[in-house]
Structure 1
Amino acid sequence: MNYMLKYSLACVVLVLALASCRKEPNYPDEPQISFKRIEQVSHDNEGLQIDSVFLVIGFQDGDGNLGLSSDKQSSDYAPPFNVGSTFENNFKVKLLQQVPDPNNPGQFIFREYQFPVAGFDLSGRFPRISSDDREEPLEGDIRFGMEFTEEFFRPGEVIKFEVYIYDRETPVPHKSNVVESEPITLFTN
């Protein structure tokens, strides 16, 4: 029994010593993102085929000011995050559609998709990552979902996404780098 106690105490001291040496990561205040993966789930809703698509984006941020509240009474809806501003949505998504390359017959390129409704895009708000306003480095993943239907896209259509995010810095939010997803084919399941 003394043998176990003696080595258990040594293990506890070693763990505490190693934990106290751990340094906080040193990330820039501008968010940095990376494309992790894309998840696609196909389902049928009364004869209408729907693809739910989830983009998983990794992030690192030095001051931890990521995300916006969905409470319209909060300061997260005050300028520069007010309705109609460039920064209202902090998760920016550009949809790219595979099309024939006009300069190279038989080849394909990706072009920005033109939505049939003017002003529509897939961008949105992701919630606050940290529950307080402390400045601290943050790292993790954001999972952002969208739905596509056969009303606007044909089965077999190939698409991909360009993504960037904004933080809550005022008066002008910091913009992250831009990442691109891998292509997916719609309505194949």
Structure 2
Amino acid sequence: MKLLRTLRTSTLLLLTGLAVSSCLEMPDYPETPSISFKSISSERVSDGFGLYDRVTITVSFKDGNGDLGLREEDKVEGSPWARLNPDLTLNPFYNNYYITPLIRNAAGEFLPLELDNPNDNYNSTYPPLDKDSNGRETPLRGDLSFTTDFFAGDPLKPGEVVRFEVFIYDRALNKSNTIITDPITIPR
């Protein structure tokens, strides 16, 4: 009788363990990152440097091997993320977070903000997001919030309606899909 109860308890524990482990399988995401729009906010900030509009965009991301983010030391000469290509042209992979402001015109269309110098932009770099993987390829999912400051009135004018186009790259230079944020109005 005691043997039967022990056998039944052991079987129950084994089946429970198998059920729990099957629930903990790694997600199967593509190795190319994908993003979706989550939120956008803006606030007017005044500090010792002046008055500016701080815009924070949050995207949700998924990546199958978790190779998202760069460190500044990754951007050394000769790396795929160096500032300049061997022919001394700007490397498009120097940044991994790409943002383009889209301004609504009088006709209601959103057009890319034109900057005086085409090399000026709001692109930037986000740090590695796979800090706990110890170099292992691990699927990642989460939210990435990024803040950009625009000096008040230049180039975004008070009262203008703007939205942003965003995409990211992973360390293998795979480009995510492009998302467009909800519109916001620049404070007056």
TM-score band, normalised by the shorter chain? Answer: 0.7 to 0.9
CA shift at 1:149, angstroms? 2.2
CA shift at 1:39, angstroms? 1.8
Q: Judging changes above 3 Å, is the alpha-carbon distance between structure 1 residues 30 and 156 closer, same or farther for their aligned structure 2 residues?
A: same
Structure 2 letter corresponding to 1:129: L
Pairing 1:108-187 to 2, within 5 Å after superposition: 108-131=108-131, 132-152=134-154, 153-169=156-172, 173-187=173-187
2:21 aligns with 20
Structure 1 residue ranges, 4+ long, deviating more than 6 angstroms after superposition = none
Q: Is the 8 A contact 2:75 2:82 kept in 1?
A: no
Pairing 1:42-53 to 2, within 5 Å after superposition: 42-45=44-47, 48-53=50-55
Aligned residues: 166
Q: Is the 8 A contact 1:68 1:76 kept in 2?
A: no
2:20 counterpart SS class = helix
Q: Is the 8 A contact 2:75 2:94 kept in 1?
A: no
2:63 & 2:77 partners in 1: Cα distance?
A: 21
Residue of structure 1 aligned with 2:40, choices 18, 21, 38: 38
Q: Is the 8 A contact 1:49 1:187 kept in 2?
A: no
1:60 & 1:44 partners in 2: Cα distance?
A: 35
1:179 & 1:167 partners in 2: Cα distance?
A: 16
1:100 counterpart SS class = coil
Q: Is the 8 A contact 1:98 1:158 kept in 2?
A: yes
2:146 & 2:58 partners in 1: Cα distance?
A: 7
Cα shift readout 1:137-182 (whole Å, capped 9, x = no counterpart): 100111111112224132101111000100011xxx1100000000
> TM-score, normalization: structure 1?
0.79
CA shift at 1:76, angstroms? 6.8
Q: Is the 8 A contact 1:40 1:51 kept in 2?
A: yes
Deviates more, 1:142-151 or 1:31-40: 142-151
2:123 counterpart SS class = coil
Q: Is the 8 A contact 1:69 1:76 kept in 2?
A: no
1:68 aligns with 70
Structure 2 letter corresponding to 1:60: K
Unaligned runs of 5+ residues in structure 1 are 1-12, 102-107
CA shift at 1:18, angstroms? 4.6
> TM-score, normalization: structure 2?
0.79
CA shift at 1:185, angstroms? 0.4
Structure 1 letter corresponding to 2:136: R
CA shift at 1:15, angstroms? 7.6
CA-atom RMSD, angstroms? Answer: 2.3
Cα shift readout 1:2-39 (whole Å, capped 9, x = no counterpart): xxxxxxxxxxx698555322211000000010000002
The percentage of counterpart residues that share the same residue type is 32
Task: State whether structure 2 residue 96 is matched by structure 1 residue 90.
Answer: yes
Unaligned runs of 5+ residues in structure 2 are 1-12, 84-89
